[in-house]
């Protein structure tokens, strides 16, 4: 039996980061921690690209645009959706998570969900606290690990590729 696991070495990795401006008091902390984590793991500053979008609902579209360029090994999605008094929270968090998952499968690329979905502002602040367990840093570590796992799997696969992967590779060459 063979077990595979990723590493936490980001040397040579190119990472796109999409971050929501809404709830900036939280998302700025997520972004700072994600960038610091990537750099500490070996990613170069020039290999990181940050795209700021208005809110969490807009994250999937920008993430898909980055993923389709073929320039990135992973895309990290950061945002904060905090429950209010209306069902808006349910719609935004569901669509953001669905969209991010869909892009990862469609583009055959790690597209990491680093969007906080909390009941209170206090919970969001706690999950973005650099002194505790910052979810932006966690999303960056997940991206690194997924890139290295997928590289390991792909390096040992037969040369045959799926139709979707072939189409994506062709589209990336054209871009």
**pLDDT for residue 62:** 98
**pLDDT for residue 131:** 85
Q: What is the mean pLDDT of residues 67-96?
A: 95
User: What pLDDT digit, counting tens, does each position of 94-153 carry?
Assistant: 999 999 999 999 999 999 999 999 999 999 999 999 888 899 999 999 999 999 999 999
Q: What is the mean pLDDT of residues 62-77?
A: 97
**pLDDT for residue 161:** 52
Tell me which of 4, 8, 21, 88 is the catalytic residue: 88
Contacts of 88 (CB under 8 A, 6+ apart): none
DSSP SS3 for 130: coil
CA distance 84 to 23: 13
**pLDDT for residue 156:** 74
**DSSP annotation of 76:** E
Class of domain 15-174: alpha beta
Is the pTM higher than 0.85? The answer reads yes
CA distance 125 to 44: 28
Strands 15-20 and 48-53: parallel
Q: What confidence tier does 164 reach under pLDDT thresholds 50, 70, 90?
A: low
- 88 catalytic residue (yes or no): yes
Angle between helical axes of 163-174 and 59-69 (0-180°, round to 10): 80
CA distance 109 to 28: 24
Phi-psi region of 57 (alpha: psi -120 to 50; beta: other; left: phi over 0): alpha
**pLDDT for residue 132:** 83
Exposed / middle / buried, residue 105 (Cβ in 10 Å: 0-12, 13-18, 19+): exposed
Asked whether the predicted pLDDT for residue 68 surpasses 60, the reply is yes
Q: Which helix (H) or strand (E) holds 173?
A: helix 163-174
CA distance 109 to 94: 21
User: What pLDDT digit, counting tens, does each position of 23-62 carry?
Assistant: 999 999 999 999 999 999 999 999 999 999 999 999 999 9
Domain residue spans in the chain? 15-174
């Amino acid at each position: 039996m063979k077990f595979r696991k990723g590493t936490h070495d980001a040397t040579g990795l190119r990472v796109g980061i999409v971050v929501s401006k809404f709830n900036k008091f939280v998302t700025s902390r997520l972004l700072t921690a994600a960038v610091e984590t990537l750099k500490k793991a070996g990613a170069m500053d020039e290999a990181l690209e940050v795209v700021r979008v208005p809110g969490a609902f807009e994250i999937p579209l920008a993430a898909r645009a980055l993923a389709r360029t073929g320039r990135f090994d992973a895309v990290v999605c950061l945002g904060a959706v905090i429950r209010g008094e209306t069902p808006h929270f349910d719609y935004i968090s569901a669509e953001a998570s669905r969209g991010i998952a869909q892009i990862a499968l469609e583009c055959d690329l790690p597209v990491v969900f680093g969007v906080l979905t909390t009941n209170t502002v206090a919970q969001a602040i706690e999950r973005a606290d650099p002194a505790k367990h910052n979810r932006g840093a966690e999303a960056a570590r997940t991206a690194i690990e997924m890139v290295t796992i997928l590289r390991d799997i792909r390096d040992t696969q037969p040369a045959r590729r799926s139709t979707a992967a072939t189409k994506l590779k062709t589209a990336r060459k054209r871009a």
